[in-house]
Structures are given as structure tokens and as C-alpha cells.
Structure 1
Amino acid sequence: MGRFSRKRAKKEAHTKLGKARPLETFFSSYTDFAFNPEAPSRLEFRRLSKEQGWKRGDAVGEAAWQDFRSALVLEFNARFGTELKDLLTWQTLCAIVGIEEVNKIADCEACEKLLKSRLFNLVDVIDTHRRSKGEVVQTFASAEALKEHTKKTAAFFPHYHVAAGSLLKRVLRKPPSMESLNTTNG
């Protein structure tokens, strides 16, 4: 069993922008685990936990959970960057959440405004982008519906993280009454 190296994942994320690998780095640190890159990362973490025999409250499992959460943040930064003024990145995020005709949006602020009008799960955004098949993530009509989806799927994205870049900090927003879930919506 290996240990995830945030430093190694961060280095890879910066050198392979567009081909992010922090999640793969995390999962490959467990040499006896066969990571399926097509599967949702949350399900792969659940499978890893089961294979490793981690239980709630287990120190090793908790450390792995924190490392997984760090890998999610680094994966977002690597895939989408950290720059607030990158129109292509904003357009990509808008496309992933199903905002049509994103190429007609001429500035970052307009993309951000449209993105903020949608409720979605960032773990789903990352997994959708990882698969790169032109998929669109599910959006929700209410914060309650997003909260239920997040709980049901265990797709928890860290709301606060030291490695969050400027773009991620802008996409994150405080979801009402969801603080205890450590979830987010974009």
C-alpha cells in the first residue's frame, strides 16, 4: 500500500495541464488497486476503501480520504487551471454544465454569471471532464436536490482547501445549509 504524494501530484498537475493526473496518482499509490479511469472517482474511492478494509473512524482510511479530497482539488486545478481571465476555461466549464452556445459568450464575467445560475456537483464536473466524451453533468433545480444527490452518490468536494486556485475559489460558493456536508455547487 502506497501513500499519496500531494507534492508529486501537484508537480504532475502543473506539467501536464490538460492531461491532469492527480486522481490517477492518488489511486496508483495503492499498488494492489486496479484503478478504472472510466469509473466515477467517488466509486473508485469506495471500492478502494472496501478492498483496503477501511472503516469509518479508521486513521488510515481517514488519511486516505483527505488525500483523495486533495487529489480532487489538484485535479480541478490541473484540468481547468487557476486563472480567472481564461475565457476558454470558463467556456469549457459552461459546456460541461450544459450551457448551450458557449462559443458565443464573449467574456469571462458572462460565463461566470451563467455558471453561477446552475447548481451542479464539482466531483461530477471533474469526472465528466476526465472521461472527455462530450457529456454534460446533471444540474439541479434547488440546493436541496443537489444536497440529496451529493449525499446519495457520496460525491463530496472539499469546500475549503489550501491548494484551491483562484478559478476554483471563484467557482465554489457557500451552499445554504450544506456546510456540514462539505459539498459545493458551482
Structure 2
Amino acid sequence: MDIILAQQLAVSYYNQCRHIMLAQFIEFTRRFYLGIGTLNGGFQHVISARPPTPIEVFFARYPEYPYDQSRETMSQFWEMSSQFGWGERVNHEALGGLRDAIAQQFNDIYGADVNDLQAWQRLCGLVGDGSIPDNITACRAVIRRVHVNICDLVDYPATTIPPPVFFTESALAKYSREFGKIFPRKNAYSGGLLKFLLRHIFHPSHDLGIGSDSGRTSAGG
């Protein structure tokens, strides 16, 4: 069996395991994000029941743009930048503000404390291999083996689109660059969990295995 076929089979099995965990995780994230006690009500009906998210606050600064939280955050940012004809300076400043909001929203959804076992378990349930370890060390080992984009994790509760998980740093890097979903290494609002998920995006490792321990302190997706 060649390497490519073996990797394809591994991805297929992995995605089957993830499907089960996603069904359980989606209820937690939807309840947390929408601030409701039931998932049966209409989406628009319950929006007013919670305070605005950091990303909503960011886009509220630009009322001329029709922000839609059910769509991906970064695609809307780049669309808005093009629509307004922003130059490099304005675009850079606005992007910095959005990245702050993304970090804050990640912390709100997934947590920021690296000593919080439940926070690690939530991440394992969403992007792990189907197992939910009962200790932080084992959880870290699970998360270390996968590569996922920060922006996709933050968008997931609203879009309900499962974040794609990549088995190599290079694959994540290519995806993040292609769709403009790059999160900086240094951000004042980044918590420990977020930093652990960062990978090399501009100089990724070229590993062939399922994970890489490098890159968690460099600009990442």
C-alpha cells in the first residue's frame, strides 16, 4: 500500500470518528454561543437573547457592510475590504482589530486556561481522534497531532460547518494562505489554548506524518 492511499484511508477513518464527536460537541457550542436552553427555536429568534460577540462588535463598526454571522468571518472581511476600497494602512489596522476579536471569541467559546481539563476535552471532542482523554497531558498529545485553523474553530458555532482538520502542517499552511485565514503569533488576547494550536504558516514543516510538534509559537491558522 503506497503512502498516499494509506493516508487517504487514515483520513476516512478519522472523519468517521469525528462525525460522532461533532454531534455531541455541536450542542455545547450552539448553546454556549446562542445563550439558549434549547436548540429547537429559530436561529434569528434567539439572537437578541445574548450580548453581541466580539466579532459582531467589530463588524458593527462598519454598518454599511451587510455582515452575516452564518458566513465565514475572514471571507466577509476580505469582501468588505474590497467593497470599501481600503488601502494597505486601513486594511492593516482593521485586520488587527478583527484578529483581536477572533482571539477574544476563541477564549469565550473554548477557554483560555491551559490548566482547564474541560477546555482541552472540548477541543479533543471537536478536532481530536474520537477519544476524550481524562487528563491534560493526554489531551495535549491528541491536539498536537492535528492541525486546524483558528478562524474555522471560531466560526463553527455560528456556521455549524465542522472545521477541516489537516494531518500535516504544510496542508494547513496552504489552506490558510489560500483563504486568507492567518492568525498572528503575537496577539494580546491570545490565551494558552489558542497559542498551542498555532502552527507555522509561512515556513511549514514538510512532515509526512499525522502531526508536528513544531510551529506552535509562529504565525498560524
> How does the TM-score come out when normalised to structure 1?
0.75
Instruction: Show structure 1 runs of 4+ deviating over 4 A.
Output: 173-176
Matching of residue 38 in structure 1 with residue 74 in structure 2? no
Contact 1:98 1:137 (C-alpha < 8 Å) held by counterparts: no
**Number of residue pairs matched by the alignment:** 160
- 1:75, CA displacement in angstroms? 1.3
Q: Tell me how far apart the structure 1 counterparts of residues 128 and 192 of structure 2 sit (CA, whole Å).
A: 23
Q: Tell me how far apart the structure 2 counterparts of residues 29 and 160 of structure 1 sit (CA, whole Å).
A: 24
Aligned CA distance change for structure 1 residues 31 and 138 (closer, same or farther; 3 Å) = same
Identity, % of aligned pairs? 25
Matching of residue 64 in structure 1 with residue 94 in structure 2? yes
- 1:173, CA displacement in angstroms? 4.8
The one-letter code of the counterpart of 1:29 is R
- 1:127, CA displacement in angstroms? 1.3
Aligned CA distance change for structure 1 residues 107 and 156 (closer, same or farther; 3 Å) = same
Provide the residue aligned with 2:185 in structure 1.
159
RMSD: 2.3
Provide the residue aligned with 2:135 in structure 1.
107
The C-alpha deviation readout for 1:87-110, integer Å capped at 9, x for no partner, is 2211221222143132xx211221
Rg: which structure is higher?
2
Q: Tell me how far apart the structure 2 counterparts of residues 129 and 97 of structure 1 sit (CA, whole Å).
A: 14
Gaps of 5+ in 1: 1-17
Contact 2:147 2:167 (C-alpha < 8 Å) held by counterparts: yes
Gaps of 5+ in 2: 1-31, 34-51, 205-214
Contact 1:120 1:137 (C-alpha < 8 Å) held by counterparts: yes
Aligned CA distance change for structure 1 residues 43 and 168 (closer, same or farther; 3 Å) = same
> How does the TM-score come out when normalised to structure 2?
0.64
Q: Tell me how far apart the structure 1 counterparts of residues 93 and 184 of structure 2 sit (CA, whole Å).
A: 14
Contact 2:114 2:192 (C-alpha < 8 Å) held by counterparts: yes
